Amino acid sequence: MIIPAFDLINGKAVRLYQGDYAYQKNYDINLYESLEKYASKGVKLVHIVDLDGAKNSNNRQLKLLKKILNHTTIPIQVGGGIRNQKDIDILFELGAKRVVIGSVAITNRKDVKKWLNIYGSDAIVLALDLKINYLGEKEICINGWQKQTNYLFEEIIEYFSFSQLKHVLCTDISKDGTLLGPNIKLYQEITTLFKNIEFQASGGVSVLQDIVDLKKTGIQHIIIGRSLLEKKITIEDALRCWQKE
């Protein structure tokens, strides 16, 4: 499916270039009107990232998230600043459909494995952000993409494969917020390797052909942020393109 995305800082929709807070672009949109439009067009899921919370888990925009979740009928998956089980419980109490787990999936793997079993395969999304190194290896980055780890994408998926892992959001950092097109080779590789995972492709989508190319890789979901905010493509065309392919 097509999943529209909103990244939020201080209540405003923004986009960061390759995850860098120093390169922030603000968008003058009415978030609630956008959600109403998406609901009317048949959008089945929206992705929201609390970038304030991602930067500082003590600064999460919980009041805003509560307002958003109460406003719309579209199921929403929420990420940003989730560090423990209490954070997860709070988001579910606010009405989130799914909770997106990022850095803690690397720094506290045992607890994340436990959460997958507690909440079930449809409730948790692992967000794995990576850089392709000179050997072509998929290196995981954490902490808002600022810290490179020694873990490779494949070994993290393998680690959680015996838990109830179903949803994985995979972002090639070099593509995110660039409108330069997605990393088709990456998604071809991971969908071939891990057939039981429903992957969400994120980063680089700018034209309808990107949707066509991604769907051909076997990707089940595509997250689209900047190109919708900047009207490079419309939600109507994106949905139609996905359904047609």
**Is 122 one of the annotated active-site residues of the chain?**
no
User: In Å, how far are 99, 119, 153, 162, 198 from 166, measured between CA atoms?
Assistant: 13, 12, 15, 11, 6
Pairwise CA distance, residues 224 & 29, whole Å: 16
Pairwise CA distance, residues 150 & 120, whole Å: 28
Task: Please report how many Cα atoms fall inside a 13 Å half-sphere around the Cα of residue 47, on the Cβ side.
Answer: 27
Question: Which residue among 50, 52, 129, 213 is the active-site one?
Answer: 129
Task: Please report how many Cα atoms fall inside a 13 Å half-sphere around the Cα of residue 217, on the Cβ side.
Answer: 26
CA 198-203-207 angle, 5° bins: 105
Contact 37, 80 (CB under 8 A): no
**Is 50 one of the annotated active-site residues of the chain?**
no
* Catalytic positions: 7, 129
